[in-house]
Amino acid sequence: MARTKPLTYAGAGVDIDKKDAFTESLDSLMRRTFSPRVISNPGGFAGLFRLDYNQRLFRRNYKDPVLVACCDGVGTKIKLAAELGVFDTVGIDLVAMNVNDLVVQGAEPLFFLDYIATPVVDTAMLHALVTGVADGCRRSGCALIGGETANMPDVYAKGDFDLAGFCVGVVELKRVQKPARVRAGDVILGLASDGIHSNGYTLVRDVVKQAGLDLSKVYDELNPAPKAKGRRKAAPVTPKTLGQVLLTPTRLYADPIVRLLRSYKVKNPITGMAHITGSGIGGNLCRALPPTLDAKIDLTSWERPPIFNFLQQHGNIDEEEMYRVFNLGIGYCVIVSPTFADSVAEQLTKLGERVFRIGTVVKGTGIVRK
C-alpha cells in the first residue's frame, strides 16, 4: 500500500488554531455589553450571570421573578449579506429578532448568546458579525455572555453561513403580558418599522432575481426627497442602493418598551403587545388577543416605507400576499387602555419611536380584521 500524507483536521477544512484565535479576540467586544450582573469567567465553558437581590449592585429587584427565554435567527437575509459582503447589520438583526420577541412578554432582556456556523474561519467576516451582535446587545441593555462558532466545511458551501441567537430575560410574575388582559375598546398603537426587517427575504430575493434588479443601483423611488420641518430645510440624505435598503437591520424595540413598562410602577395600562414578524400584522397581532376579541386595523393609518411598494410593483405581488408576508411598515404593536393611549403614544415618541394609532379592539373571535 502506498504511504499517504498524514491527515490533519486543518487539512480536512477545520482550522482549530484560527478558530481559537478568533474566539479569544472577542473579549473586548463582549465586555462592552456587560452589566454588574455578569460574573467574569475566563476560559469557562458557559457564561455566568447573577440573578439576586443585592441592593448595592442592582437598582431593580424582583419579588417573584419569572425567567423568559427565546431563540430565533435571521432567515435567508444572510444570503444577501453574503452576496454584498456586509455582515454587521445581520448581527443586529439577530439580536433584534430575539429581544423584540422577549419584551412582548413584559420582560427585560438579561443576556444573549449567539451561534455562527460557517465553512471556513473568515476572521474579518466573523468579527463584523459579532460586532453587530454586540452593538445590538448594548443598545438593548442585554449582555453578550457567550456563543459558539462552528467550523463545518462539509455542511456549508463556500460563502454560506448561518446564525442563531438565544436570549434570556426576566419579568415580575404579576406583570407578565397575557391575552386575558385585553379588553374591547382598547387602542392599538403601531410602532414604525425600519423596512423589511428579517422576514420574507426568500420572496425578496426572488423578486430581485426575476425582475433583474441591481443591488448596487440607487433607485429614485427608494430615496424620496426628505421632508422639511416647519421653516427649516430638510437635511440632505445620502442616497442608498437597493442592497443597502434591503440590509437595513431590524429595529430594536427592547429599550423603549422596557422604559415604557418601567414608567408604570403601579398601574399597567399596556394590555398586550406583538412583534410583527413573519405572517405580518394579521398573523402576529392575533397572538395578543383572547378568543372573544378581534383587532380592527386601518391599513391607511400609516405610510408604507417605499421598499414595500417597490417590491410589490417589480414582483407583481398581490396585495393580500404583501399583507401576509411583510410588516408593511409596522414592526411592533402595543395595545393600550383607551384612557392612556395618548400618554403612551407621547412617551414612545419621546423615546424615539414613530407611533401611529392603527386600530381598536372589538368583540369577535380572536382574529385581525382589516
SS3 state of residue 154: coil
Low-confidence ranges of the chain (pLDDT < 50): none
Residue 363, beta-bridge partner list: 293
- In angstroms, the Cα distances linking 236 to 209, 219, 224, 239, 242 are 31, 17, 11, 9, 19
Classify domain 16-175 by CATH number.
3.30.1330.10
Q: What's the pLDDT at 14?
A: 81
Nine cell digits for residue 24: 479569544
Nearest in space to 142 (alpha carbons), one of 230, 245, 68: 68
Nearest in space to 337 (alpha carbons), one of 176, 175, 185: 185
Q: What's the pLDDT at 7?
A: 83
Nearest in space to 215 (alpha carbons), one of 234, 240, 238, 241: 241
Looking at domain 179-230+238-369, its CATH superfamily turns out to be PurM-like C-terminal domain (3.90.650.10)
Residue 46: CB atoms within 10 A of its CB come to: 9
* Rounded CA separation 197/187 (Å): 25
Nine cell digits for residue 77: 437575509
SS3 state of residue 296: strand
* Rounded CA separation 118/116 (Å): 7
* Rounded CA separation 239/222 (Å): 8
Residue 275, beta-bridge partner list: 332
Q: Where are the domains of the chain?
A: 16-175, 179-230+238-369
Q: What's the pLDDT at 56?
A: 55
Contact 219, 326 (CB under 8 A): no
Q: What's the pLDDT at 54?
A: 61
* Rounded CA separation 360/268 (Å): 18
Question: Which residue type is seen at 269?
Answer: P
* Rounded CA separation 145/134 (Å): 10
Nearest in space to 253 (alpha carbons), one of 77, 95, 87, 143: 95
Q: What's the pLDDT at 21?
A: 82
The radius of gyration of the chain from alpha carbons, rounded to an integer in Å, stands at: 22
Residue 277 Cα to chain centre, angstroms: 9
Q: State the distance between the two ends of the chain, measured CA to CA, in whole angstroms.
A: 74
With the CA atoms of 115, 252, 196 and 205 taken in that order, what torsion angle do they form, in degrees rounded to the nearest 10?
Answer: -20
Q: What's the pLDDT at 92?
A: 98
* Rounded CA separation 288/104 (Å): 9
